[in-house]
Structure 1
Amino acid sequence: MSAENIQISKTPSPPYYAVIFSSIRTEVDGGYGEIADQMVELAKKQPGYLGHESAREGLGITVSYWKSLDAIRNWKMVSEHLFAQRMGREKWYRSYKTRICLVERDYGFELEN
């Protein structure tokens, strides 16, 4: 992926929530990439979704941003997401950890072109 296509999520002013999903994959693919892409597109349509960032090189880390704890709970219960969670436990992950955090402050820098 070129640097022009990589973006940091544009989140609103805090407070909002971050869900940090850290994972270590198995060797099994079994449609992982396709399902992961579907989950991103589905999450984007959920009420309260604010954005996400993801990286993987051995350890995978995806951070999704949400307006509220209710929005996070609702996303967790979407049937397609429940299926992906089950597949993750059965096939795709050796281990994973989910952390839910309240973002109280954020700041950044962006080079102007």
Structure 2
Amino acid sequence: MTDEAPGVAATPRPPYTAVIFTSTRTPDENGYAPMAQQMYDRAAKQPGYLGVESAREDIGITVSYWRDEESARNWKQVAEHLVAQRRGRDVWYSDYRVRVATVHRDYGPDESELG
């Protein structure tokens, strides 16, 4: 996987938790791509992980999906992730916002909206 996860994540029927990370990058690329890859790989092994979607242009938006808020909270506290968070704050991001939400509805082009 690269810095930008390909495709649309396959998620189960709601409810589940979405962690939305919106960021603006600094020009410093030193170590960013390998760390991003490590975080994608490590997150995918976490209990409760469901998938990720990511896109970047002027701003980046990464949405990770979790079985529940506890699973997302546990990921936030993983040691390697704490290191990446600190490096992001200190070096890679000029601004960012993290939002945590519960998904109540989820449908695609071949499904009707439920609820």
Q: Same fold (TM over 0.5)?
A: yes
**Match in the other structure for 2:77:** 77
**Match in the other structure for 1:40:** 40
Q: Which runs of 5+ in 1 are unaligned?
A: none
Cα gap change, 1:85 to 1:6, in 2 (>3 Å): closer
Q: Secondary structure at the match of 2:106?
A: coil
Divergent runs of 4+, >4 A: none
Q: Deviation string for 1:71-93 (max 9, x for gaps)?
A: 01110000000000000010000
- For residues 35 and 57 of structure 2, the distance between their equivalents in structure 1, rounded to whole angstroms, comes to 19
- For residues 109 and 84 of structure 2, the distance between their equivalents in structure 1, rounded to whole angstroms, comes to 35
**Match in the other structure for 1:102:** 102
Letter in 2 for 1:101: A
Tell me if 1:29 matches 2:20. no
Q: Which runs of 5+ in 2 are unaligned?
A: 111-115
CA RMSD of aligned residues (A): 1.2
**Match in the other structure for 1:88:** 88
TM-score (norm 1): 0.91
Q: Secondary structure at the match of 2:81?
A: helix
Aligned residues: 106
| Percent sequence identity over aligned pairs | 56
